[in-house]
C-alpha cells in the first residue's frame, strides 16, 4: 500500500462474547505484596483494592492466549543474538499477521499501512454477587481465598524450603467479556483465533504455579452478540447470534463457526 492509497478498512460492527470462567483448580495471579500484615501470605493474589475481592486481569487472559497461539502457529522465531551470543525467542510483532491484527502489536512495530486498530479487547473478569456469597458461606465473611502450602525441595541436598501461595479456590466462577471490533471483511474469520486461544488455555494454565497444579480453567455458558454500526449511530438492534437459548459451548462454536457468526 502506498501513501496515496486509501486504506480498505472502516468500522463495521462488533461481536461481543461473554462467558463464565470456572476454576478447575486453584488460581494464583499475583498482586501487591501484603508487607508487614500479620498472617499475610508470601504470594498474594491480585484483588480489587476497594472490596478485597479477587479478579482476573484482562491483560493476563489476553497475554496467555496470545502466547499459546503464537507457539501453536509457529510465530515464535528463534534467533541468535550477536551481542549476547545466545539464542533468543522473538515473538510475533508483525501487524499484518492475523495474530498481530487481533491482539495488537507495540507502537514501534505498527506500520503506517497496517490494517487498522487492534481488534480484541478483553475485560477484567470478576465474580458476581452469587459467587461472593458462596465464598462468604464456605470460608467466612470477606474471605475469598485459600493458602496453599508448598515445599521447594533442593534436589541435591533434599533440603526443604516451605512457602505459602494464596489462591482463589477451585470451583469459583468469574464473568468475562471479550469485545471484537470488525473493520474488514477478513476480520470475521480472524475471530476464530479468540476461540482457539480459549481452547488452548483450557489445556494449559492461567497464572502462576501452573506446572504444580494451579490455574486450570474452563469456559462455560458462552453467549455471543453482534452489533452492526447502526446499533451505535442509528436505529439498529443487538442480534443474539448463538443458539441454544442464547448459550453455546466452546466446541460448538469452533465446530460450527461459519453458521454461528453471520457476516455484517
Q: How many Å apart are CA 18 and CA 178, to the nearest integer?
A: 6
Closest Cα partner for 217 from 233, 244, 197?
197
Provide the residue range defining the domain that includes 98: 13-260
Does 41 map to a domain? yes
Q: What is the pLDDT of residue 120?
A: 98
Rg of the chain (C-alpha set): 21
Question: Could you say which DSSP state residue 25 is in?
Answer: S
**What is the reported pLDDT for 24?**
98
pTM of the entire predicted model: 0.86
Rounded Cα gap, residues 120 and 25, in angstroms? 27
Residue 85 has what pLDDT?
72
Tens digit of each residue's pLDDT (9 = 90 or more) over 223-250: 999 998 888 988 777 777 765 556 788 9
Report pLDDT for 80. Answer: 77
pLDDT of residue 1: 47
Whether 6 is in a domain gets the answer no
Could you give the number of structural domains in the chain?
1
Distance CA 69, CA 123 (A): 19
Q: Which three cell numbers, joined as nine digits, stand for 92? A: 510475533
Q: Among all chains, which residue has been given the C-alpha cell 481465598?
A: 145
Please give the full DSSP string across 248-260, using - where no structure is assigned.
B-HHHHHHTHHHH
Residues of the chain with pLDDT under 50: 1-2, 35-38
34/164 Cα distance (integer angstroms): 13
Q: Is residue 213 part of a domain?
A: yes
d(C-alpha 27, C-alpha 43), whole Å: 12
In a domain, 22, yes or no: yes
Q: pLDDT at position 156, please?
A: 73
- How far apart are the C-alpha atoms of 145 and 29, rounded to whole Å? 12
The per-residue pLDDT for range 172-193, each reduced to its tens digit, is: 999 999 999 999 989 999 999 9
In a domain, 67, yes or no: yes
Residue 5 within any structural domain of the chain: no
> Is residue 150 one of the residues assigned to a domain?
yes
Note whether residue 7 is domain-resident. no
Amino acid at each position: 500500500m502506498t501513501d496515496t492509497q486509501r486504506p480498505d478498512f472502516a468500522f463495521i460492527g462488533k461481536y461481543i462474547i461473554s462467558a463464565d470462567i470456572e476454576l478447575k483448580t486453584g488460581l494464583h495471579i499475583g498482586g501487591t505484596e501484603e508487607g508487614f500484615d500479620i498472617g499475610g501470605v508470601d504470594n498474594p493474589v491480585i484483588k480489587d483494592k476497594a472490596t478485597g475481592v479477587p479478579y482476573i486481569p484482562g491483560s493476563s487472559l489476553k497475554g496467555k492466549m496470545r502466547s499459546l497461539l503464537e507457539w501453536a502457529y509457529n510465530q515464535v522465531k528463534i534467533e541468535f543474538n550477536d551481542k549476547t551470543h545466545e539464542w533468543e525467542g522473538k515473538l510475533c510483532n508483525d501487524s499484518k499477521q492475523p495474530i498481530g491484527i487481533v491482539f495488537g502489536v507495540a507502537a514501534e512495530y505498527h506500520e503506517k499501512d497496517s490494517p487498522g486498530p487492534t481488534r480484541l479487547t478483553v475485560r477484567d473478569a470478576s465474580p458476581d454477587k452469587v459467587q461472593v456469597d458462596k465464598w462468604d458461606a464456605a470460608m467466612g465473611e470477606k474471605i475469598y481465598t485459600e493458602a496453599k502450602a508448598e515445599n521447594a525441595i533442593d534436589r541435591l541436598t533434599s533440603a526443604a524450603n516451605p512457602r505459602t501461595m494464596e489462591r482463589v479456590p477451585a470451583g469459583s466462577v468469574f464473568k468475562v467479556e471479550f469485545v471484537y471490533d470488525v473493520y474488514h471483511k477478513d476480520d470475521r474469520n480472524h475471530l476464530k483465533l479468540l476461540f482457539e486461544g480459549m481452547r488452548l488455555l483450557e489445556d494449559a494454565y492461567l497464572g502462576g504455579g501452573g506446572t504444580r497444579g494451579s490455574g486450570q480453567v474452563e469456559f462455560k455458558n458462552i453467549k455471543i452478540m453482534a452489533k452492526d454500526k447502526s446499533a451505535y449511530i442509528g436505529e439498529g438492534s443487538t442480534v443474539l447470534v448463538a443458539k441454544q437459548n442464547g448459550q453455546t459451548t466452546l466446541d460448538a462454536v469452533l465446530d460450527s463457526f461459519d453458521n454461528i457468526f453471520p457476516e455484517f
